[in-house]
Structure 1
């Protein structure tokens, strides 16, 4: 059968009394940023939470600062070098900034607007907090992560071990969706999802789950729902937004894993990172299981044995990823 990687408990928040990290949320006033900030406020391993946005972050900070946990929350506005101040001394920077998807809009349609936003934020991080772990939520992740990498390279501060694309929502969806097919508790389900973070670049490895025998139409529907679950939410919200709440949950889970790693707790999470796994195919970034530690990426795990069908999905994903990554690299080259 297929080998599995042992993983931490599915519980969202640590019960440890140890406090460690100073975390900045850049884009804290938005649809993802607000619930993400609230969830991070309840994490006992975060001592300080800095919230920045062009609008609204001080209000969000004032609101969640009333939550009865010990972390200190500070809001920063664009005036008076607020971005730079929010980044000072941070251990982890989470970036949900950008415009959301609307009905009929793909993640790639977001590129022109979000590319510039992410590039400018990466410049500030590179100058103010170059040693911070950077978790990129802003879509399209397949392109925005390379944008951050190229921008940091231009500043001579790029460390591939400290840059992450947050693909956790794909795993969250996969565990929930497969539990609905199998009639089980999603807390006991794990589906490794590799590749990228949009459409057919998302490759769920059902063969490595608790239910490798799912097949036929049930299998095809499950794969499609995991790959295009975001469209389901965009359509349901009818122009009022995208998957903000579930993304906040997933972003909080991944941030928790980064903080635990900084504390010396070895944690495995899937993430879109600079990876050697398919670099020979022109895909230098890839999401797979990653061991997180004090220096960020400690180990990149191979995806393991997969079926013929999953190999087909992987080939399609690699073709899309190559184009997405090249698009991000080209943007910084033409717009440094």
Structure 2
């Protein structure tokens, strides 16, 4: 059995993750997966898949209804259960954390950092109790800081590898970047490659321009203003959605499913994720930040070194310094 637990599944982001994960897992049974990963139980094409939706007791009945609706939507053999007890995440192969508070009226960023850090710390402690071997995907905001909270909490309790803790942010931001590039150049999404966003998920994200290609060709000098426009739209995309009174949850669900597909299927796909920097890209100190990584059965298989401009490297370093300031505001 392959088991995936989503903590915070009663919320919009969490339930969107469950729906997209269920579809991905259901598709796996239809594929010929001869080279499946032993750590996630080989012969995955014949495996039983289980998703556990976990949240607070007040959300239990809501999740039970969601589980039925999601099963009706995906129409496959993936089993979906709802629970208000984190013990039911025991022996998970992958745990997705979407829990946490949104920023409310009058709440400062520092308050949001502190309150969500406290929530995520307790969740990480429960992961250590019930499912220490699981790969952990963090979606909760502020994402890069919450990744570090999970890492530091688990490190104090165990010797869990940082390679098994991954933040989602850059996957979502890069999808948006690719869309905006296609929009400003009036071309198909299929024509766009190399659209990748590194740095912080939020203020401090760095849309990389030097890697972008249209039909495998570099962007012409005269078209660089269009690329700047796409980058600007990317950095403000979350705020644009919020200004309409909405929040992003469909696209984050797709992003998480992409990451899970890469782990389960051991695709070695290159995805921009928040990971422990380990000195890469000139970043000093221990912190999680968006970098290009090869994702596979072990989680982070490798941090890839892209040929980017000196200006882009500087912006990533500046984002790292901002992250250090955020980390200084919380206690773990």
Q: In which range does the TM-score fall when normalised by the shorter chain? A: 0.7 to 0.9
Match of 2:80 among 65, 73, 76: 73
Contact 1:142–1:198, Cα closer than 8 Å, also in 2:
no
After TM superposition, give the deviation of residue 107 of structure 1 in Å: 6.6
Q: Deviation string for 1:33-66 (max 9, x for gaps)?
A: 1222111111223711111111132222232233
Does the C-alpha gap of structure 1 residues 254 and 137 become closer, same or farther in structure 2, counting only changes over 3 Å? same
Contact (CA 8 Å) 1:193, 1:205: kept in 2 or not?
Answer: yes
d(CA) in 2 for partners of 1:108 and 1:217?
35
Q: Structure 1 residues 181, 36: CA separation in 2 closer, same or farther (over 3 Å shift)?
A: same
Q: TM-score w.r.t. structure 1 length?
A: 0.81
Residue number among 207, 213, 222 corresponding to 2:230 in the alignment:
222
| 8 Å contact kept, 1:108–1:140 | no
Counterpart position of 2:3: 22
Which residue among 8, 15, 18 is the counterpart of 1:34? 15
Gaps of 5+ in 2: 29-47
Please give the alpha-carbon distance, in whole angstroms, between the structure 2 residues aligned to 1:178 and 1:322.
31
Q: Does 1:235 align with 2:243?
A: yes
| Large movers: runs of 4+ above 4 Å | 101-109, 214-217
What is the deviation of 1:69?
A: 0.5
- Determine the C-alpha separation between the residues in 2 that align with 1:146 and 1:323: 13
RMSD of the alignment, in Å? 2.4
CA deviation profile, 1:259-301 (whole Å, cap 9, x unmatched): 222xxx3222121111220465335323222112222221111
Aligned residue number for residue 178 of structure 1: 181
Structure 1 segments unaligned to the other structure (5+ residues): 1-19
CA distances 1:182-239 after superposition (whole Å, capped 9, x unpaired): 1122244231211221112x111111011533666534432222122111111112xx
Distance in 1 (alpha carbons) for counterparts of 2:166 and 2:235 = 20
Instruction: Give CA deviations for 1:4-34 in whole Å, capped at 9, x if unaligned.
Output: xxxxxxxxxxxxxxxx631111111101112
What's the CA shift for 1:129?
A: 0.5
Contact 1:103–1:235 (CA under 8 A) maintained in structure 2? no
Counting matched residue pairs gives 298
Who is 2:140 aligned against? 138
Q: CA separation in 1, counterparts of 2:70 and 2:103?
A: 26
Question: In the TM superposition, what are the counterparts of 1:154-169 in structure 2 within 5 Å?
Answer: 154-167=156-169, 168-169=171-172
Secondary structure of the residue that 2:273 maps to in structure 1? strand
Larger deviation, residues 218-227 vs 116-125: 218-227
